[in-house]
């Protein structure tokens, strides 16, 4: 934009052969979809590229991981956006390279041949991935939570742990299998810990005969001085008390020094567990370093207040891939920030194409932060408002239902939440298996295993563990 006239300089020199400028958006999350929607009436062709064919409502991903919701409840196909937006094309592919000088990106779907997509404007919004802070080996035993596949893996690990504990012959094995460790005391870690506690003590309380799920141990590890560091200290303290009431052990100043199939080592001591969930941090996509911008320690591209890598470049980085400073303070990597950035960049591009006045520099409107800590308890912190308890929980529920991507998502989630609230049951308690061609072959023909009793043709039941007695 011409700083003296307040008018845009127009689009950069054409790289594509389109009659209209082509806007390529990499990433179908909150930021990318918001950009595409803002450009619905602009005189441009929009290409939205993502390696998945769906948009995920990230704030509820932990509920898929803990069997409250099914994956389809919080996801919507990206391709349906084209039904209401004629200038939008969706391509399912993974971006493997960006050449800003030639104004092309290189993409590939599975093992198919790679292809180039030219652009006049590029909006990079690929999201983030879990970071293990230099200990990438932790990933094998401590999955992060960023995708639907991650959520299904975690859900299967949690539910399978109880199934294994039911037939485990040794009390130490049963304790290890029914101990769950969450690394990271931010909103995701806190929400996971609380909902696993309710799963154990409410949903599963009468489902097993030889173990008592009510004896489940849940440990939340936080390396800092307190959980929920982005919240007011009084609210964070209230959340910790609520976790304690749910039976969650919160350990602050506790760093995971090693993670393997035995458990987690903290302060030199082994904490035996079969299930570790990583919620300690994220890193930006590697694509952030390919657009000619400087990056911060987390790999996020440093962009200006119009979210562009350099003035007039036509290359924008938004969402978790960008580091945006406003009055010396970083814009938080939350859904509202991504939505606002996507909407803003769409306005900037539309103004340049129309050769009109661009909007003022990006300004983040803080609409508040929320975290839910089990049934009937949530935290809400917004400018001038601090709230905790049941009212905050109701506000949280209505806001999250309202922001789900489709009407059918809202209806399904609303019904499932009502069912879970009054019955304590969860709608997606499935242990998913890997592809059938990769599973171990049937071993029934090998004969009974030592210590087992045959009770029918081809059927064996372990009898080592005795039924437990529960308190009335």
Confidence class of residue 468 from pLDDT cuts 50, 70 and 90?
low
Is the Cβ–Cβ distance between 280 and 223 less than 8 Å?
yes
Closest of 81, 10, 7, 77 to residue 44, by C-alpha: 10
CA dihedral in degrees (175, 178, 182, 188; nearest 10)?
-160
* High-pLDDT (> 90) share of the chain, %: 79
Q: Specify the CATH number of the domain 22-51+93-131+282-353.
A: 3.50.50.60
Q: Residue 19: what pLDDT?
A: 82
Q: Residue 440: what pLDDT?
A: 60
Q: Which two tokens stand for residue 134?
A: 């230099």
Closest of 117, 13, 59, 35 to residue 400, by C-alpha: 59
Domain 136-280 has CATH 3.40.50.300: no
Q: Residue 1: what pLDDT?
A: 43
| Average confidence (pLDDT) over 424-445 | 71
Two domains, one topology: 22-51+93-131+282-353 and 136-280: yes
Closest of 125, 101, 124 to residue 15, by C-alpha: 101
pTM attached to this predicted model: 0.88
Q: Residue 456: what pLDDT?
A: 43
Q: How would you label 371-396 residue by residue, b for 16+ Cβ within 10 Å and e otherwise?
A: bbbbbebbbbbeeeeebbeeebbebb
Rounded-to-integer distance, Cα 378 and Cα 192, Å: 13
Place of tokens 């779907």: 109
Place of tokens 């299930």: 275
Q: Residue 424: what pLDDT?
A: 93
Q: DSSP for 186-225?
A: SHHHHHHHHHHHHIIIIITTTS-SS--GGG-EEEEEESSS
Q: Residue 154: what pLDDT?
A: 97
Q: Give the pLDDT confidence of 123-152 residue by residue, as tens digits.
A: 999 999 999 999 999 999 999 999 999 999
- 415 pLDDT more than 80: yes
Average pLDDT of the chain is 89
Q: Residue 281: what pLDDT?
A: 85
Rounded-to-integer distance, Cα 464 and Cα 169, Å: 5
Q: Residue 14: what pLDDT?
A: 58
Residue extents of the structural domains in the chain: 22-51+93-131+282-353, 136-280
- 170 pLDDT more than 90: yes
Is the Cβ–Cβ distance between 144 and 361 less than 8 Å?
no
Q: Give the pLDDT confidence of 348-367 residue by residue, as tens digits.
A: 999 999 999 999 999 999 99
Active site positions, annotated:
191
Place of tokens 């171990």: 440
Q: How many CB atoms lie within 10 A of CB 344?
A: 25
Confidence class of residue 462 from pLDDT cuts 50, 70 and 90?
very low
Q: Which two tokens stand for residue 235?
A: 């609210």
Q: In this predicted model, which residue has the larger pLDDT, 258 or 471?
A: 258
Confidence class of residue 467 from pLDDT cuts 50, 70 and 90?
low
């Amino acid at each position: 934009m011409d700083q003296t006239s307040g008018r845009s300089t127009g689009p950069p020199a054409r790289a594509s052969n389109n009659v209209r400028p082509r806007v390529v958006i990499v990433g179908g999350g909150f930021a990318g979809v918001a950009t595409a929607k803002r450009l619905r009436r602009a005189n441009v062709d929009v290409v939205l590229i993502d390696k998945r064919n769906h948009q995920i409502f990230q704030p509820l991903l932990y509920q898929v991981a803990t069997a409250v919701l099914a994956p389809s409840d919080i996801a919507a196909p990206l391709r349906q956006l084209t039904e209401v937006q004629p200038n939008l094309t969706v391509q399912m592919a993974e971006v493997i390279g960006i050449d800003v000088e030639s104004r092309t990106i290189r993409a590939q779907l599975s093992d198919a041949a790679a292809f180039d997509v030219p652009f006049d404007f590029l909006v990079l919004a690929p999201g983030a991935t879990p970071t293990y802070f230099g200990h990438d080996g932790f990933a094998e035993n401590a999955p992060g939570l960023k995708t639907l596949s991650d959520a299904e893996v975690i859900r299967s690990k949690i539910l399978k742990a109880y199934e294994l504990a039911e037939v485990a012959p040794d009390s130490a094995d049963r304790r290890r299998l029914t101990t769950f460790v969450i690394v990271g005391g931010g909103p995701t870690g806190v929400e996971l810990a609380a909902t696993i506690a309710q799963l154990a003590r409410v949903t599963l309380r009468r489902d097993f005969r030889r173990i008592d799920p009510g004896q489940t141990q849940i440990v939340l590890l936080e390396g800092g001085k307190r959980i929920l560091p982005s919240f007011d200290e009084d609210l964070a303290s209230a959340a910790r008390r609520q976790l304690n009431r749910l039976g969650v052990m919160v350990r602050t100043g506790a760093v995971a020094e090693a993670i393997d199939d035995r458990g987690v080592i903290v302060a030199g001591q082994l904490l035996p567990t079969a299930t570790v969930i990583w919620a300690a941090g994220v890193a930006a996509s590697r694509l952030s370093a390919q657009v000619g911008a400087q990056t911060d320690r987390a790999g996020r591209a440093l962009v200006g207040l119009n979210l562009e890598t350099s003035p007039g470049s036509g290359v924008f980085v938004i969402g978790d891939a960008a580091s945006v400073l406003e009055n010396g303070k970083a814009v938080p990597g939350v859904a509202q920030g991504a939505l606002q950035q996507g909407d803003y960049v769409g306005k900037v591009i539309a103004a340049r194409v129309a050769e009109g006045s661009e909007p003022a520099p990006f300004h983040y409107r803080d609409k508040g932060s929320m975290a839910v800590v089990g049934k009937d308890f949530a935290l809400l912190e917004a400018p001038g408002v601090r709230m905790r308890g049941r009212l905050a929980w109701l506000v949280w529920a209505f806001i999250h239902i309202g922001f789900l991507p489709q009407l059918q998502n809202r209806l399904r989630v609303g019904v499932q939440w009502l069912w879970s609230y009054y019955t304590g049951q969860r709608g997606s308690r499935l242990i998913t298996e890997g592809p059938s061609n990769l599973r171990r072959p049937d071993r029934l023909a090998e004969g009974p295993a030592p210590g087992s009793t045959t009770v029918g043709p081809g059927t064996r039941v372990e009898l080592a563990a005795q039924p437990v007695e529960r308190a009335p």
